[in-house]
Structure 1
Amino acid sequence: MACQSVSIINMDEQALLGLNPNADACYRQKAMVYFEQLKESQDAWEVCAEALAKGIYSDDHVKFFCFQVLEHQIKYRHGGLSPAQQQLIRETLMKWLQGQLMNSQPEKPFIRNKAAQVFALTFVMEYLTHWPKFFFDLLSLVGLNPHGVDVYLRTLMAIDAEVVDRDILHSPEEVRRNTLIKDGMREQVIPSLVESWYQILGAYQQSHPEITCQCLEVVGAYVSWIDLNLIANDRFVNLLLSQMSVEDLREEACDCLFEIVNKGMDPTDKTKLVESLCQVLQSAGFFNVDQEEDVDFLAKFSRLVNGMGQSLVLSWTKLAKGGDVKAAAEALRALETKVPLLLQLLVHDDDDISANIVGFCYDYLNVLKQFPLLTDQQKTHVEDVMLAVMKKLTYDEEYNFDNEGEDEAMFVEYRKQLKMLLDRLAQVSPDLLLEAVGRVFNNTIQRWQTASFMEVEVAIRLLYMLGEALPASHGAHFSGDTAKTSALQDMMRTLVSSGLSGYQHTSVSLEFFETVVRYDKFFLVEPQHIPNVLMSFLDHRGLRHSSPKVRSRVAYLFSRFVKTLHKHMNSFIEDILSRIQDLLELAPPENGFPALLTSDDQLFIFETAGVLIVHGESPAERKQALMRSLLTPLTDAFRLLLAKLASEREEERQAALADCLSHAVGFASRTSKAFSNKQTVKQCGCTEVYRDCLQTFLPALSCPVQRGSLRSAVRSFLHRMIICLEEEVLPFVPAASEHMLKDCEAKDLQEFIPLISQITAKFKDQVSPFLQQVFMPLVLAIFEVLCRPAEDNDQAAALEKQMLRRSYFTFIQTITSSGMNEVLANQGVENVERVLFTIIQGAVDFPDPIAQKTCFIILSKLVELWGGKDGMAGFPDFIYKHIVPACFLAPLKPSFDLTDAQTVLVSTWNQIYQTRLFYILDVWTHFTKLVLLSFLQTLSECALTLKMIHLRRGPEFIQYLQQEYLPSLQVSPEITQEVCQVLQQPDAKVLKNYMKAFFQRAKL
């Protein structure tokens, strides 16, 4: 249909055409405009009310639209409605409901849900004032009409969402209102509501099971805050239990009973309630889990049993702490009689059923942990739980190791729950656990060639898990004394000498290597096993496994294995390096063959090679030769690739080449991880090798394309070389800095500043001439980037500038705190002033507590260096004109929040939660910063700056405050005197506390 303009008189009917999802865009737009008009109008919404009351429209979308308009009036404008209009809303709802009772077909569920929301909103607004008989009017109208009962039950759930649901945030005023509503309902209507539920549950069990299920949901929702005796009585519970046998109802009946069991109550009464429920359920045959085929019901039943079990644990805990020995013993007896049922559910083939009972199992083991001695029955229970856990840890045959999806992820999470049980079992009875695992492990490993991968994997997994579960006193250690060798040591010996490393399944291969590395200390006491295990790492079982997943993980595990045991590998070093030679090759972009390892995996191999070379027992000349042979292929390839990159015009190809160049630098950098300091580099004769690498890599800084990734790689290498080569690296720094400061972006500068700061802090006076030379070019580059215009709503650019500004102030702080004030002092008067003013600006003008704190630290240090009688000329004047005002003006800024950090944190979290902004990374970053730092820390540094001024200027400063500055701020003579007295106190803490109170008063 073509769109035409519509006169305002006819717009209502035509606008409604746009409510149809298939309508043209212009009609949908008209419907939206019409909706806004009806919402904002004082009385136009009454058209919608009349339409609902009289059932004028048959179109579902129009009816939904009318309820939306009504909902808006009640939610946002109820207080402004006249009594007659409020009465109209009540009458409209009741007439609409009356119409439902006469209809042969109920409304669509989405309309009934919206109607229930409107009923609930009206109830919340009017129950305490204009409509105290809300429920009685509703019940008398609907009777037992199924359409009416459906709306009544939906309304009760909508009221629960508005008044009770703890997951919905409410204002303090809404919380008070909701409390009054619940109190009023308890006094006036709850017994009648409960009676209506009982009637509904009995009346519709056969004819309308969906209504019965709704009613069970309502009972479960309301039972948490009403008198439990109204529900937990013979007639009601018997009705619920009878519905446990009805196929269409039993899952909801289970959920309802779960909510009843979870109701807070006296521990003795709770024990009796649970026991009575269990007796009835057991006599009805529900404890015969093996005979039940409906896994969905069993999952619900398992959750119910879990609730009952945890309730009994809580009752026992309270009674035992309270000293009621008899009642506690009864609760413990009740608890232990449920363990056989717990075990049936825990060991069930369906993991959802098993997972639902883990909480009860964990809590029961926690109870046993508190007993010094276990009874024979309790020991049997512990052993049975162990066997169940071991069985359930086993993979299913259907587990897809090559393409893990949602089901696989759920099993991994489920395994984590089982691990918690295993850890708790270790605390209850470590000896029993060690014995049980040893039995399973040895039985499986003896027949590993014929056992399924699931059996073999779980046997090794259990051995692996013992490392965290068992305390050292129970075997989680290894001894060189054969008379004292532990069961754990015996299992490790069996593992590495069994040949099991050759088992052809990904899960077993991974578990083998994980366990070998978890227990690498075993090889310190039995080093004779190292050669065989080394070969398993190096051949088709490990680094050359057919699975990329195994190869990747083994690359990391191999590096850990070598780091621990390199002293025992001296005779194998060159053999190992020869065997991994092809894994150390830089894969050029044009190579069409898939590499065995990714570049990330190769980093671990290069680090491993470095560790082997550096920590071997070869003479320095041999180490130098080995290191050069390791790094020369990288530098040779780097030169060739860099030349290709400079002449390459295709952007995708440029990116691939730059990526490869970055990897080359990263690999060389990773080999240096083997050195702890300059001394070890010299001892190994490798200084010249790394100097050559630097010489090769630095030209990449002047490459005109792909500058970001290349600069980042070379900058990281320089960081490492500062540690490894120390002053040997200094000749390279000026040229490198010059290249990195050309055509900078905010991110480039932000990453460059830590490098200069590292050099400054490490070499101090040695680099003073260089710093004096590079200081202003760096500062000017920062200023230029900060001054670049950006879009107002460009959050990423704003954040980059904020981080750069912080880095700049941190750099100035590094210079001043390193005692290198001459770097700043020798920049010329104009430049020094310019820098000083940026520090004042950072302290006062930017609402960034991290930057402000840094700026006050700098100002305090500068006052210490230059603020005395022999300080920099003109600086005392700067103190009085700019630093002192900054100390008072910054905390007085509206953006300077003097609230406690926790208050800032909570309010910010609420704001983020309510707007769902926590999905945005930038907001989360700001949120975490609030956790770490508050404005109070800045105020503390501000106070210390004033203290330092007093230390350097003495009575002159006090006189200035008394006679000039504080009077200019309209501070009274009494407060001025207070400030000056506190400043002269020796304890800085007194000043900090006083300044906080001073500024809080000033802001009132």
Structure 2
Amino acid sequence: MARRTVPVIMDEQALLGLNPNADACYRQRALAYFEQLKESQDAWEVCAEALAKGIYSDDHVKFFCFQVLEHQIKYRHGALSALQQQLIRETLMKWLQSQLMNIHPEKPFIRNKAAQVLALTFVRDYLTLWPKFFFDILSLIGLNPHGVDIYLRTLMAIDAEVVDRDIQHSPEETRRNTLIKDSMREQCIPSLVESWFQILQAYQQSHSELTCQCLEVVGAYVSWIDLNLIANDRFVNVLLSHMSMEDLREEACDCLYEIVNKGMDPVDKTKLVESLCQVLQSAGFFNVEQEEDVDFLAKFSRLVNGMGQSLVLSWTKLSKVGDVKVAAETLRALEAKVPLLLQLLVHEDDDISANIVGFCYDYLHVLKQLPLLTDQQKANIEAIMLAVIKKLTYDDEYNFENEGEDEAMFVEYRKQLKMLLDRLAQVSPELLLESVRRVFNNTMQSWQTAPFMEVEVAIRLLYMLGEALPASHGAHFSGDNAKVNTLQDMMRTLITSGVSEYQHSSVSLEFFETVVRYDKFFIVEPQHIASVLMAFLDHRGLRHASPKVRSRVAYLFSRFVKTLHKHMNAFIEDILSRIQDLLELAPPENGFPALLTSDDQLFMFETAGVLIVNAESPAERKQALMRSLLMPLTDAFRMLLAKLPEEADEERQTALADCLSHAVGFASRTSKAFSNKQTVKQCGCSEVYLDCLQIFLPALSCPVQRGSLRSAVRSFLHRMIICLEEEVLPFIPAASEHMLKDCEPKDLQEFIPLISQITAKFKGQVSPFLQQVFMPLVVAIFEVLGRPAEENDQTAALEKQMLRRSYFTFIQTVTGSGMNEVMANQGAENIERVLFTIIQGAVDFPDPIAQKTCFIILSKLVELWGGKDGLVGFPDFIYKHIVPACFMAPLKPTFDLSDAQTVLTLSECALTLKMIHLKRGAEFIHFLQHDYLPSLQVSPEITQELCQVLQQPDSKVVRNYMKAFFQQAKL
């Protein structure tokens, strides 16, 4: 059958829109043309012909033609006729042939797209229609550099399609890819490997970029082809010669790394690594100090890391199978690499050092498993330890005040070194302790003249011992052994040496971090508390020149005080007077930058609270101290709240509202010092907080900046419910009334947990209030949910979904707290309205979390009202609405039974049916058998079966049956 010829007429006007600088209307037309060519049965053939004949010289048009072809192969391959499939193959080969004649190669983006299209064609056709794919390409291109370039790019594109493990494949694709690899191994891999060898030899001097591409291909394919094709003398010699060529050495390193990483038998792997090492060593690559190219050394370090980790893996496997002799040989091979490991680990370039950490870590793990260590192994441990200590040190360039990418990378690198230190502690804790003690003591003796990085790292090491040495923090200073004595000595030196005066923020921070890490030391030697408190409170800590230090110290100080408050009685009033200025509410018009941010001040208020509450003074004194701590806040609050409505400028309004919110937040934070209501009473502080409540509540009715003020007062109420319990109740009705006025979804969503907390905590005590607030709250919620929103407004949709969930959770709390009178007393019309919202939530909204809550509520209501003496009219509601909901919800297409949350919803749905049976008995079974299930066209056999299951006592049987029932029903 002759192929129909398609006239090569492309829409030249539309093609103009492919230019990146084209007008929007042209671009739109190009896009529409693309869609037309993609979807047409044969119009795309004009693109094939344009490529085969090289009609267009414009790069964007060529790229466009490849894209159209790509779409045909990707999405319409099965719909193409055999002739059309052949046309694609011929087009690609003609285009490839045309590249051999070109003086100038195509732009890289076109070559990449062509390689992608070739790879896609290969994947679709290789097993059936084009088994000679590679032979055709190789015989066509020979050693033409343009052709070789496309060939290598195609091989990498095939690797991405068939091999790359980072790409998710369907089971069908995985099977196909396995078949492709098996066929390639049988038919063409030796020929491909031969072509790679020829390319590497031919181009290593003249075309370094082609040689690098080829090395990348070898590295990619070596993981799944026969290693002997690559790991042989002729190939390895070529690779080693590349290691000495500046343009090729990095790619050669990567290629060797992939060879070494190939999974294989442990004995063979050891032989491979050893032979490679011998060749590299005799070629002088182990003389790391003489190498100045850090980029190459980073690659070489990665290669050594791969070789080292491979030997560790071989040793582990051989040890497991009990092959003692060969395992010992492997261990010797491993140990022989340690000098090289150490050279790379201490290298001044952190990338080179970081690339060897994995091998180092694994080597230490090997040593940990050995019953006895040789002197050489102990020396290796010590050398690694000194290397880690050296590398932990900051360099001069580190920017502490404005940390950027380099600084972030060093912080990450430090984390890797910390892992090594922890591993060292497991292998030889005594050696680590001794090394750190030596470094620490030497540095502390001369800290005044030592550079900051040495002082910082000395204290840092002491800090790191806390996690590295096995013990809970408390146990570091109990018992009588060398570790306890050494740590205690170092802590004593840290505090008495005066190093806290060192003028560098990194040293200051490390000092306070370490003091707090070892706060239990002060329980053993409380005589040092006073001097450390002074450091916290003066220019070294909370008044340090660096905002970063002040901020961190505010947090650390709160932790220090929490642990040691029992030992601070003598200093409490002195501390409070010294931090008084740090507890001031910074008014927005002040203009002076505050020493601490409002977030830092939260810690200061909490600390002040802890000191007052735990003081050994009478309740009156505590009350007086707490009042003097909170009065400045309440006074400022009154004044600012009066100003706020009069302020016209929105920016100033926001600043005032922030200030007011901070005042409430600070007061709230002081209450964290109390463990429960009892302690508030004992300290005589109930009155103080009730006064605060009285002052803060008017903010709820402030006409401006409502959101942030309500949020702050609501949080305060949450805390007061915990601290003051029923003393808060008189304030709740008025507060609720204010919070329900002019609500936004977020307001309501945050208000519901407050009401739920009150309901769950006070139960019957708040029943009258709940009955009063119940319908206004429900009405407010549905008014907000009913507001129209933009169709694509994801934020609004999510806010509504969260509000709906909160509403159902609230109903669940009310019904689950034994207060059914709250709903029962709302009047028949209102009850019905609420019940319908729950039915709607169970069935209509595809939100399994809300649906599950709704079924829990329905089950509870059936339990409360569904019996003989339940709510009038409720049994009727059960049959008309609850039973249908239990079937309609799971039958919805959106009810996904493969989703874990949905399965939990179904479980609650089944339990609801079980509860109906429990309350209505035979009447319910009769209704299902004769009325409801027949209306759903359920067969009599299945109906019978379902009714029998519902009468089973074991609810697990019911749940499992219902899942199977709906899975079957949805098929």
> Into which bin does the TM-score normalised by the smaller protein fall?
over 0.9
Q: Is the 8 A contact 2:9 2:46 kept in 1?
A: no
Counterparts of residues 927-938 of structure 1 (less than 5 Å): 934-938=901-905
SS at match of 1:541: coil
Cα distance in 2 for residues equivalent to 1:983 and 1:109:
68
> Which residue of structure 1 lines up, in the alignment, with residue 516 of structure 2?
517
Deviates more, 1:802-811 or 1:476-485: 476-485
Write the deviation string for residues 494-522 of structure 1: whole angstroms up to 9, x where unpaired.
11111111111011111111111111111
Deviates further, 751-760 or 491-500:
491-500
Question: Could you say which residue in structure 2 is the equivalent of 1:950?
Answer: 917
What does residue 969 of structure 1 align with?
936
Distance 2:912 2:302 in 1: 61
Match of 1:13?
12
Distance (whole Å) between structure 1 residues aligned to residue 24 and residue 865 of structure 2: 71
Say if 1:13 and 1:970 are closer, same or farther in 2 by CA, change over 3 A.
closer
Deviates further, 745-754 or 788-797: 788-797
Could you tell me which residue of structure 1 aligns to residue 682 of structure 2? 683
Query: After the TM superposition, which residues 415-564 of structure 1 pair with which residues of structure 2 at under 5 Å, given as runs?
Result: 415-472=414-471, 477-479=476-478, 485-564=484-563
Q: Superposed, which structure 2 residues align to 1:261-272 within 5 Å?
A: 261-272=260-271
Distance 1:28 1:862 in 2: 61
Give me the TM-score of the superposition, normalised by structure 2. 0.97
Preserved contact between residue 8 and residue 50 of structure 2 (Cα < 8 Å): no
**Distance in structure 2 (CA, Å) of the matches to 1:481 and 1:431:** 15
Unpaired segments ≥5 residues, structure 2: 1-6
Report the aligned-residue RMSD: 1.9
Deviation at 1:484, TM superposition (A): 8.7
Write the letter of the residue equivalent to 2:391: K
SS of alignment partner, residue 417 of structure 1: helix
- CA deviations 1:187-239 (Å, max 9, x no partner) are 11110010011111111111111111111111011111111110011111111
CA distance in 2, matches of 1:763, 1:734: 14
For residues 998 and 94 of structure 1, the distance between their equivalents in structure 2, rounded to whole angstroms, comes to: 57
Q: Which residue in 2 is equivalent to 1:647?
A: 646
1:98 CA drift (Å): 2.2
- Residue identity opposite 1:340 in structure 2: P
Deviation at 1:701, TM superposition (A): 0.4
Residue matched to 2:41? 42
Q: Kindly tell me: are residues 480 and 529 of structure 1, through their superposed partners in 2, closer, same or farther at Cα, counting changes over 3 Å? A: farther
The alpha carbon displacement at 1:485 in A equals 4.0
User: Which residue matches 1:988?
Assistant: 955
Q: Tell me, in whole angstroms, the C-alpha distance in 1 between the residues paired with 2:207 and 2:231.
A: 24
Question: Are 2:407 and 1:401 equivalent residues in the alignment?
Answer: no
The answer as to 2:806 corresponding to 1:844 is no
Describe how 1:684-763 pairs up with structure 2 within 5 A.
Answer: 684-763=683-762
- Report if the CA contact (8 A) 2:8-2:46 is conserved: no
Cα deviation, residue 107, structure 1: 2.1
Partner of 2:254: helix, strand, or coil?
A: helix
Q: Which residue of 2 aligns with 1:1002?
A: 969
- 8 Å contact from structure 1 (residues 431, 474) kept in 2: no
Residue 636 of structure 1, CA deviation? 0.6
8 Å Cα contact 2:620/2:684 also seen in 1:
yes
- Superimposed CA distance per residue, residues 533-573 of structure 1 (whole angstroms, 9 cap, x where no aligned partner): 00000000000000000000000000000001011111111
Shift of 1:11: 6.8
Partner of 1:580: 579
Partner of 2:352: 353
Q: Contact 1:306/1:356 (CA < 8 Å) preserved in 2?
A: yes
* SS of equivalent to 2:589: coil
Tell me the distance in 1 between the aligned counterparts of 2:776 and 2:270: 77
Quick one: which amino acid aligns to residue 121 of structure 2?
T
Deviation at 1:42, TM superposition (A): 3.3
Offset of residue 277 of structure 1: 0.2
Q: Deviations over 1:454-494 (max 9, x none)?
A: 11111111111111111129996113879994311221111
Q: What's the CA shift for 1:1002?
A: 2.5
**Equivalent position of 1:75 in the other structure:** 74
CA distance in 1 between counterparts of 2:73 and 2:626 reads 78
The farther-off stretch of 770-779 and 375-384 is 375-384
Instruction: Give the aligned residue type for 1:232.
Output: A
- Structure 1 residues 972 and 51, CA gap change in structure 2 (3 angstroms): closer
Query: For 2:27 and 2:37, how far apart are their aligned partners in 1?
Result: 15
Report the equivalent of 1:53: 52
Moved more, 393-402 or 811-820: 811-820
Give the direction of change, closer, same or farther, for the CA distance of 1:835–1:36 in structure 2 (3 Å limit): closer
Q: Relative to structure 1, is the Cα distance of residues 46 and 963 closer, same or farther in structure 2, using a 3 angstrom cutoff?
A: closer
Evaluate the alpha carbon distance shift between residue 834 and residue 65 of structure 1 in structure 2; reply closer, same or farther with a 3 A threshold: closer
Taking structure 1 as reference, are residues 786 and 482 closer, same or farther at Cα in structure 2, changes over 3 Å only? Answer: same
After superposition, the C-alpha distances for 1:665-718 in whole angstroms (9 at most, x for unaligned) are 000000111111111111111111111101110000000000000000000000
* Contact 2:8 2:49 survives alignment (8 Å): no
Q: Are 2:474 and 2:520, in contact at CA under 8 Å, matched by a contact in 1?
A: no
How much does 1:794 deviate?
1.5
Structure 1 residue aligned with 2:3 = none
Superposition deviation, residue 125 in structure 1: 2.1
1:177 corresponds in structure 2 to 176
SS, match of residue 573 in structure 2: helix
CA distance 1:776–1:17, shift in 2 (3 Å): closer
Residue 382 of structure 1 deviates from its aligned partner by 1.2
Matched residues, percent identical?
88
The answer for the alignment partner of 1:610 in structure 2 is 609
Contact map agreement 1:475 1:488 (CA 8 A) in 2: no
Alignment correspondent of 2:4: none
Residue type of the partner of 1:139? L
Aligned equivalent of 1:941: 908
SS at match of 1:477: helix
The reply on whether 1:960 has 2:959 as its aligned counterpart is: no
The amino acid that maps onto 2:358 is G
CA distance in 2, matches of 1:323, 1:723: 62
Classify 1:899/1:105 alpha carbon distance in 2 versus 1 (closer, same or farther; 3 Å).
closer
Q: CA deviation at 1:656?
A: 0.7
Instruction: From the superposition, tell whether residues 152 and 446 of structure 1 become closer, same or farther in structure 2 (CA, over 3 Å).
Output: same
Deviates more, 1:542-551 or 1:856-865: 856-865
Matches within 5 A, 1:162-311: 162-311=161-310
The 10-residue stretch of structure 1 (558-567 or 781-790) with the greater mean CA deviation from structure 2? 781-790
In structure 1, what is the Cα distance between the partners aligned to 2:454 and 2:78?
A: 69
Letter in 2 for 1:151: I
Q: Which residue of 2 aligns with 1:570?
A: 569
Corresponding residue for residue 322 of structure 2: 323
- Tell me which residue corresponds to 2:98: 99
- What's the secondary structure of 1:399's corresponding residue? coil
Q: CA 1:29 to 1:996, structure 2 compared with 1: closer, same or farther past 3 Å?
A: closer
CA spacing shift, 1:635–1:45, aligned 2, 3 Å: same
Q: CA 1:32–1:935 in 2, change beyond 3 Å: closer, same or farther?
A: closer
> Which deviates more, 209-218 or 540-549?
209-218
What is the match of residue 945 of structure 2?
A: 978
Q: Output the CA distance in 1 between the equivalents of 2:903 and 2:36.
A: 49
Preserved contact between residue 473 and residue 520 of structure 2 (Cα < 8 Å): no
Matched position secondary structure for 2:477: coil
In structure 1, the partner of 2:827 is 828
CA deviation vs aligned residue, 1:899-930 (integer Å, no higher than 9, x gap): 263xxxxxxxxxxxxxxxxxxxxxxxxxxxxx
Change (3 A) 1:158 1:523: same
- In 1, the alpha carbon distance for the partners of 2:906 and 2:790 equals 32
Amino acid in structure 2 at the alignment position of 1:506: S
Cα distance in 1 for partners of 2:147, 2:726 equals 87
Q: CA deviation at 1:96?
A: 2.3
Could you tell me how far 1:837 is from its partner in structure 2?
1.7
Any conservation in 2 of the 1:389–1:418 contact (CA below 8 Å)?
A: yes
CA distance in 2, matches of 1:678, 1:788: 42
State the TM-score, normalized to the length of structure 1: 0.94
Counterpart Cα distance in 1 of 2:776 and 2:96: 78
Which secondary structure does the structure 1 equivalent of 2:476 belong to?
A: coil
Amino acid at match of 2:555: Y
